[in-house]
Structures are given as structure tokens and as C-alpha cells.
A and B are shown apart, each in its own frame.
Chain A
Amino acid sequence: GAGVSQSPRYKVTKRGQDVALRCDPISGHVSLYWYRQALGQGPEFLTYFNYEAQQDKSGLPNDRFSAERPEGSISTLTIQRTEQRDSAMYRCASSQESPGTASYYEQYFGPGTRLTVT
């Protein structure tokens, strides 16, 4: 079946512009995570959703970053007034089980959106 998809795959934007990154999880997956990954580093947690509810946003760097998942499926990560330091690979992952209840947390990652702020 289809895996996790993300769009756009590449985004170049000018400093100060807003960007919206989209994640389409595997159908039926309850949990959705957003990560940021710098070159040569592991994924860095940003936020996650259980269905449409944002459960933890402690990893969002500042209030320019926000995320939503209004219908419990597709999610959007929005960065307002982008800065050069926001340049990175942004990845999302989805998981079938609901956190806190199941014992199996396999996450399926999308291909990522490479964001470049000039």
C-alpha cells in the first residue's frame, strides 16, 4: 500500500516568508510525528498528534512553528517568518497504534521536505 507522503519534496523560500509543509500519513494510522533532521544527525522531535489532538509540542523551536491535523489524517507544519536557521530536512512519521496504550511503536517515515531559506 501507499506509504507516508510529504509535499513539497523541496522548498526554497526567502527569509521572512511563511511556508506550509504537508504530511499525508498511511491510511488509518492514529499517530503522526513531525521531526527535523540536520545533515549527519538523527531526527529531532518537534511535535506529535494522536488522531486530531496535538499531544506534545515541546520540541517546536519557537512560536513561529505550528502544526495542525484537523481531521486526524493530513497534517500541516507551518513556519512563519522563516529564518535561515530554519533550513533543514523536515520529516513526518505515522504509527498505527495510539501512544500510551500499545507496546509496539513502529514508525513509518516519509521522504521528507528539504527546506532552504535564502
Chain B
Amino acid sequence: EDQVTQSPEALRLQEGESSSLNCSYTVSGLRGLFWYRQDPGKGPEFLFTLYSAGEEKEKERLKATLTKKESFLHITAPKPEDSATYLCAVQADRDDKIIFGKGTRLHILP
């Protein structure tokens, strides 16, 4: 069964304190791994798609990396406006269903 596990469930950081969020996945044939950001009361907002191990993508203070078993979302020198829930999702190559993890709630303290 396809599965996505995110850790930690919640993370509190001081402004400027870099860290990483983890997404471990089990899928038979990965078509793509996705990272989304979700603010309270809103729908998820797309950040990145990664397709193969070794791939990296960056956007402002965020960098996503992918291995054969997990993905990391690195946050460098975060600011309070980076506070949100970060969701990881995978899509298998045998169908188009997208499986989301439970997310990591990130809180950046000023």
C-alpha cells in the first residue's frame, strides 16, 4: 500500500534558525513527489515537484531534495511568514491517485 509519513508533526523554530522537514514514502514506482504549503483556512498551495532520486529544487528560502525513500524540505534562515503546514504527497506511476501525508506544522517565532 502506498504510504507517506511526515516528521516531525510540529516544529517551532526561532527566526533565522534553519532546519529540515522529512517525508518518507513507500510507493511501487514513483511518478512524482510533491510539496505543498497550507495556511490556516486555505487550500494547499503548490511548491515543488520532484521526479527522480538526486533531484533538487529551490524557491526562496526553501529547497527540496529527493532520495529513493524520502524527501527533505530544507528551510534556510526562516522568517515568521514561513509559518504554515507543509504537506508532502506522492503519485505512483500505475495510476493518478495522489497520496498526501499528514503534514508538518511549522511555526517560526520572531
Residues of chain A within 8 A (CB-CB) of B91 are 105
Given contacts A55-B96, A100-B96, are A41 and B102 in contact (CB under 8 A)? yes
Segment touching A, from B14-22, B40-48, B59-67: B40-48
Task: Name the residue of chain B whose CB is nearest to the CB of A3.
Answer: B43
Assess the B32–A93 pair: CB atoms within 8 A: no
Complex-state Cα separation, A100 to B31, whole angstroms: 9
Chain B neighbourhood of A59, CB < 8 A: 97
Stretch at the interface among A12-20, A62-70, A71-79, A107-115: A107-115
Shortest Cβ gap from B42 to chain A (Å) = 7
Interface residues of A (CB under 8 A from B): 4, 31, 33, 35, 40-45, 48, 50, 55-56, 58-59, 91, 93, 99-100, 103-112
**Chain B interface residues (CB < 8 Å from chain A):** 4, 31-32, 34, 42-46, 49, 51, 87, 89, 91, 95-103
Asked whether, in the complex, the Cβ of B43 is within 8 Å of the Cβ of A110, the reply is yes
The reply to whether B103 and A42 contact each other, CB–CB distance below 8 Å, is yes
Main secondary structure of the interface of B (DSSP, over half): strand
Chain A contact residues, majority secondary structure:
loop
Residue on A with the closest CB to B97?
A: A45
A–B pairs, 9, beta carbons within 8 Å: A43-B100, A48-B96, A50-B96, A55-B96, A56-B97, A105-B32, A105-B98, A106-B46, A106-B49
Residue of A4, A42, A105 near B87 (CB, 8 A) is A42
Q: How far is the CB of B35 from chain A (nearest CB, A)?
A: 11
Query: Closest residue to B51 on the A side, CB-wise?
Result: A103
Please measure, in the bound complex, the distance between the C-alpha atom of A73 and the C-alpha atom of B51, giving whole angstroms. Answer: 29
- Partner pick for A42 among B43, B49, B102, CB 8 A cutoff: B102
Contacts of A33 in B (CB 8 A): 98
Cross-chain contact of A103 among B32, B89, B101, B102 (Cβ < 8 A): B32
Tell me the nearest residue of chain A to B96, going by C-beta.
A99
Task: Identify the closest chain A residue to B9 (Cβ).
Answer: A40
**Residue with the highest number of chain A CB atoms closer than 10 Å, among B87, B91, B100:** B100
